[in-house]
């Protein structure tokens, strides 16, 4: 079983390089930060250089923080081009997390100084980009360029959360990166929210007594929300 999984992964990466060898430059795209309760959502786009291979690319979530940082520097040095972009907390609240993620991805692709012939995006949805594009489920563990984008998006966001930990002490942003762990939720109950919190995300919405993003979607569809503000 393990051999089959390895073979499948090698086939995917081999096909990736075949496209590059044929002259069709691939931009891999991935995001970081859809699920947390705080901070912007980030996306990266990367076009790798076939003459500068990078060993050890894989889904960034499976790497240690130290190894991710090392690979991020190597990607920035060796890639033909790369771009990291974000969608702010305000944009997330205004348009919802899915649309904000697609916006961050679009910004990353449009920020590349080289136009790709093909855009490969991790997941099952595509941002609006002016190039041919395909979505690949679990692409961050199958396609080298997507793996590289995953690493850049995550390391950029993690370092930003480290900065926010200094600006807003007490929440533990450097430790949990804004995710909804008990320590974080307890801090919100104790300190209230800061400007970087996503107020329509649960359980923050319930703590504040405001409609959540889910309830707002239901209201737009004509469904009665769980509660209404007087």
> 10 Å Cβ neighbour count for 162?
13
Whether residue 27 has a cis bond before it, omega within 30° of 0: no
Above 90 in pLDDT, residue 173? yes
Which residues belong to CATH 3.30.420.10 in the chain?
2-164
What integer pLDDT is reported at residue 9 of this predicted model?
A: 42
Q: pLDDT digit string (tens) for 59-109?
A: 667 889 999 999 999 999 999 999 999 999 999 999 999 999 999 999 999
pLDDT range class, residue 146, cuts 50, 70, 90 = very high
Average the pLDDT over 45-72 and give the result: 90
30: helix, strand or coil: strand
Report the alpha-carbon distance of residue 19 to residue 118 in Å, rounded. 9
Q: pLDDT digit string (tens) for 204-217?
A: 999 999 999 888 77
Q: If we measure between CA atoms, which residue out of 54, 62, 66 comes closest to residue 140?
A: 62
Q: How far is CA 93 from CA 38, 117, 224, in A?
A: 11, 33, 20
Report the alpha-carbon distance of residue 71 to residue 65 in Å, rounded. 10
Domain 2-164's class?
A: alpha beta
Sequential DSSP letters for 75-136: HHHHSSEEEEEEE-HHHHHHH-HHHHHHHHHHHHHHT-SS--SEEEEESS-----SS-EEEE
DSSP state of 173: H
Q: If we measure between CA atoms, which residue out of 213, 188, 71, 144 comes closest to residue 225?
A: 213
């Amino acid at each position: 079983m393990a051999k089959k999984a390895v073979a499948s992964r090698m086939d995917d990466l081999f096909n990736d390089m075949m496209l590059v060898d044929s002259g069709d430059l691939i931009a891999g795209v991935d995001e970081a930060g859809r699920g947390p309760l705080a901070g912007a959502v980030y996306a990266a786009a990367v076009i790798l250089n076939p003459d500068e291979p990078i060993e050890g690319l894989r889904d960034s979530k499976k790497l240690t923080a130290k190894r991710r940082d090392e690979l991020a520097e190597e990607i920035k040095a060796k890639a033909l081009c790369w771009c990291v972009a974000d969608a702010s907390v305000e944009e997330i609240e205004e348009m919802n997390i899915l649309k904000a993620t697609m916006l961050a991805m679009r910004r990353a692709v449009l920020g590349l100084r080289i136009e790709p012939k093909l855009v490969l995006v991790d997941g099952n949805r595509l941002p609006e980009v002016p190039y041919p594009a395909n979505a690949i489920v679990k692409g961050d563990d199958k396609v080298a360029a997507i793996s590289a984008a995953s690493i850049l998006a995550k390391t950029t966001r993690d370092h930003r959360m480290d900065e926010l930990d200094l600006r807003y002490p007490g929440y533990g942003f450097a430790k949990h990166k804004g995710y909804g762990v008990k320590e974080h939720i307890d801090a919100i109950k104790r300190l209230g929210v800061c400007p970087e919190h996503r107020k329509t995300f649960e359980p923050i919405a319930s703590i504040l007594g405001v409609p959540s993003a889910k309830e707002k979607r239901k209201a737009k569809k004509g469904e009665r929300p769980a509660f209404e503000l007087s």
